[in-house]
Amino acid sequence: MTPPPAEAMAAESLTPESLGQAPGRGRLAGRRVLVVGAGTRPLPDDPEPPVGNGRAIALLAAREGAAVACADRDEASAADTAGRIQAQGGRAGVLVADVTDDDACPRLVTGALDFLGGLDGLVLNVGIGAGARLEGTTPELWDQVFAVNVRAHFLVCREAVPRMQEGGSIVFISSVAGITPGSMLPAYDASKAAVAGLCRHVALEGSRRRIRANVVAPGLMDTPIGRAASRGRPSRNRTPVPLGRQGTAWEVAYPTVFLLSDEAGYITGQVLVSDGGLTALR
């Protein structure tokens, strides 16, 4: 069963921020941010598709004053995100890249630098799941998941970190699956745990130039990917989240913008969990 739209979920607990309706506060004024995975691919038969994490992050970063390079392997989806930013008066450009391709990552970072004139922030929002339990996960599926969920992040960071402005910030979008098991996708769980390890190394290298790196780990979110996961595992919708509902993509975007901003200037190498208490209170 498809979960209800975010607007209908426990409406009394959804703030303007939760719904992506709050005005910007200038928290990223003058920043230049590359969002990798800035598109949204909704389910084809979903009449009211929610926004995805990458698009919400790009839109909110722009609303908070950043110029945003919207990167995705799907050009139309990235262009949709950029168009929404521009329609709201923001500055956005489109970059197309498959970040599992070694050769694409240098071009991606160069393209972002050319468009933005520098790079103060980087968000890595790419990930897939494949396989089912140990017996249903082939070595080929394992390698595919790690290529997207970990190797791609390494490749982009390898190119971006040396070229970022001093005092910049990197945010990896991961999952609570890297903290506690439950997805029944061993490659997904293991790769999301690996993201935290990669983040800590990036934070260590980046600290020489005050470049921070942190992880946002969402829980059960009402996004297109979340709805697809629920179709494959309907019990997902019955998970007893302590705050009583699934989250929205905006509740991933706000922690991400916080970590990109100077408000988080003394935070690095950390995992910030946005899951309605799922991992801490259950």
The CATH superfamily of 29-42+49-281 is NAD(P)-binding Rossmann-like Domain (3.40.50.720)
CA distance 279 to 282: 6
H or E stretch covering 181: none
Q: Which two tokens stand for residue 107?
A: 């071009």
Pick the closest to residue 72 from 126, 118, 109 (CA basis): 126
CA distance 183 to 238: 14
Per DSSP, 88 falls in state T
pLDDT, one tens digit per residue, over 8-17 is 445 567 999 9
Phi, psi torsion values for 138, nearest 5 degrees:
-80, 160
Residues, the chain, total? 282
Domain ranges of the chain: 29-42+49-281
Q: Which two tokens stand for residue 105?
A: 């990552």
Catalytic (active-site) positions: 188
CA distance 128 to 83: 25
Q: How far is CA 267 from CA 30, 233, 257, 259, 274, in A?
A: 21, 36, 13, 8, 16
pLDDT, one tens digit per residue, over 222-245 is 888 777 777 767 777 778 899 999
Provide the pLDDT for residue 84: 97
CA dihedral 185, 150, 262, 35 (to 10 degrees): -90
Q: For residue 122, with 0-12 CB atoms within 10 Å meaning exposed, 13-18 middle and 19 or more buried, which class applies?
A: buried
This prediction's pTM: 0.92
Task: Look over the chain and give the mean of its residue pLDDT values, rounded to a whole number.
Answer: 92
pLDDT, one tens digit per residue, over 80-129 is 999 999 999 999 999 999 999 999 999 999 999 999 999 999 999 999 98
